[in-house]
Structure 1
Amino acid sequence: MISNDTTLKEEFKIFYKEHPTKNFEDLVEKFAIFGGVGWGEIDTSKPSYELIEKLILKDYHYIRNDVSDITGGAPLYHALLSAVAMGDGKTHSSYKRAKLEKEVGDNAVSELVERGIIRVEKPKKEFTSWSNNEKIDNKLYFTTPFLRFWFAFVSPLFKGIRDGDYTEVKKRWQNREAEFSNLIFTQLSHELLKENFAKEDPLVEISSYWDKNAEFDIFAKTQSGKTILGSTKYTNAKVKKSELTRLQELAKKAGIDADIYVIVAKKGFSSELKALKGQNLRLLTLKNFAKLVE
């Protein structure tokens, strides 16, 4: 495993150097599975499941021992990590999925953070209409892409894998493959925005945003005090003007006065949306991710 001190951007850059390609779609999808671990050569142009079976499932026993060394091997921790990997990462839903009481879950999170396996992101409360005694869930994120993959597709299905039967893994992957790269795409978009605003007006914070009224993939503040809101779209369709309208309506609902909107899209944008691009609307695609590996 790469050092816990390594940032996601650094992990992505290392992954690119080990597996160089001009196809950033392939790179992001394979990074979401294999990122954060040294694998030797990976042909990123090959289908993901073919690589999963060859590099992970057939080496299950060896990798399982390494993962258990990192996590401590406690079934409680593995249940929580699988819940985080398969769900939205919010503490309440993760504990519920893992069948853990809050106190037990909180203690497990503290230990897993201490081990460098997950990190906790707290909600931004300054814009919400929540009263001080209302609780907004924290979100839990894996520090290494590979561990998220392992606890989503391998650890919960270990019995079949152990016996050489990969049917369940293949089925789960086929059902979730399209959406699995979404989170990594969003997190890398955060890194890209740090780069893009570095000279113009550096970001002092960037994260996702959630409250009882709205959720945004991108919430950022610049050094000069500007607020940035945005979304990431890892789909095979071009993003239309309606996405900007949706963001503006959600911002109003959440009571956030955004200075700049950002949309990062896998497949680009409609002509109508591109015509609106300017200082107050930034549009980025996978091609821009090349900046992260320079």
Structure 2
Amino acid sequence: MEEAIKYFAVFGGLDIKIDTSKPLIELIEKHILKDYPFLRNEISSITGGYSVDQAVLSGIAQGDRRTHSTFKRAHVSNEEGMKCVEKLIEREVIEIESSLHFLINKRGDSKISKKLLFTTPYLRFWFAFISPIYKGIKEGKFEEFRTLYQNKEAEFVNFIFEELSMDLLRASFKDDPIIKLGKYWDENIEIDLLGKTKSGKIVVGNCKYTNSKIKKTELTKLKEDCKSIELEADIFVLFTKKGFTTELKGLKGQELKLFTAKSFKSLIVK
């Protein structure tokens, strides 16, 4: 499942058959880098192909997705940036994601409580790793891409891990379905998962796409973050790639749910 998540982070939304028995980098070179001219035209037809739009999309893919920092990366004004965003939303390239401040009876600052979200993993991959260094790729030189992807892969895949974790969390709450689920962030705190069940229980969680086992300190930090924003959580959930320490697993129960990459098998449609 670890490999499946990595492959999905790149090819999710791209309508081609992938041989997952082959190395990911090899598949990226075969299906994307070597086919750059055709895919570039296809991407332009989807996004509109305007330079400002391309800059905004790369800003989203490479940054923290907040509107103000995205426009700063793209070197555009807030007014110009929002016009691009409106067009890209109409084209169904991106969507706006809002921090779930209302679940804790708080009002979010519109300047920091909005983020931009790609509609498919493949488009995010393109504007994170292909579009910014297209000149070399166009010339058939892939060394810069390999270095860039190797350095950023874990951080890049972590976001997709978070998104898939939401799907798994929804599927896991069958007896008391989650009716609202998203993320929370403000100037100081970020919580990867924040939801509310049909019965009114508040669920909070974090995701760590790391090779290290998650320790109890991760749960402690999550509880401290909740306390700092006056959020009373009923259930805590932690997602990780590898696993958890014995101490943390010993706390697992009705108020703490733990998930690893293996847990995602339940999302696969047979």
Q: What is the TM-score when the length of structure 2 is the normalising length? A: 0.95
1:274 aligns with 2:245: no
1: CA distance between counterparts of 2:147 and 2:109? 43
Task: For residue 177 of structure 1, report the CA deviation from its aligned partner.
Answer: 1.4
* Residues 80-159 of structure 1: pairs in structure 2 closer than 5 A: 80-126=56-102, 127=104, 135-159=111-135
Change (3 A) 1:104 1:45: same
Structure 1's unaligned 5+ residue stretches are: 1-23
Structure 2 counterpart of 1:255? 230
Q: Deviations over 1:208-263 (max 9, x none)?
A: 11012311110111111111110011100111111000000000001111000000
Aligned 8 A contact 2:67 2:112 in 1: no
Aligned partner letter, 1:263: L
Aligned partner letter, 1:232: C
1: CA distance between counterparts of 2:254 and 2:267? 22
Change (3 A) 1:233 1:45: farther
Structure 2 counterpart of 1:16? none
* Residues 211-226 of structure 1: pairs in structure 2 closer than 5 A: 211-226=186-201
Q: Deviations over 1:190-219 (max 9, x none)?
A: 00011011x211111111110123111101
- The aligned length equals 268
* Residues 27-106 of structure 1: pairs in structure 2 closer than 5 A: 27-40=4-17, 42-106=18-82
SS at match of 1:56: helix
2: CA distance between counterparts of 1:184 and 1:279? 26
1:229 aligns with 2:204: yes
Identity of aligned residues (%): 50
Aligned 8 A contact 2:100 2:182 in 1: no
2: CA distance between counterparts of 1:168 and 1:267? 29
Task: For residue 133 of structure 1, report the CA deviation from its aligned partner.
Answer: 6.9
Aligned 8 A contact 1:128 1:254 in 2: no
2: CA distance between counterparts of 1:101 and 1:180? 26
Task: For residue 125 of structure 1, report the CA deviation from its aligned partner.
Answer: 2.6
Aligned 8 A contact 2:68 2:111 in 1: no
Aligned partner letter, 2:220: T
Task: For residue 174 of structure 1, report the CA deviation from its aligned partner.
Answer: 1.4
Q: Deviations over 1:27-73 (max 9, x none)?
A: 10000001111212x22243322211111100000111111110111
Aligned 8 A contact 1:221 1:228 in 2: yes
SS at match of 2:34: helix
1:183 aligns with 2:183: no
Change (3 A) 1:236 1:45: farther
2: CA distance between counterparts of 1:207 and 1:96? 25
1: CA distance between counterparts of 2:2 and 2:236? 23
2: CA distance between counterparts of 1:219 and 1:248? 13
Aligned partner letter, 2:67: T
Task: For residue 134 of structure 1, report the CA deviation from its aligned partner.
Answer: 6.9
1: CA distance between counterparts of 2:234 and 2:131? 43
SS at match of 1:220: strand
Task: For residue 156 of structure 1, report the CA deviation from its aligned partner.
Answer: 1.1
1: CA distance between counterparts of 2:74 and 2:151? 21
Structure 2 counterpart of 1:264? 239
Aligned partner letter, 1:220: G
Aligned Cα RMSD in Å? 1.5
1:162 aligns with 2:141: no
Structure 2 counterpart of 1:18? none
2: CA distance between counterparts of 1:231 and 1:59? 37
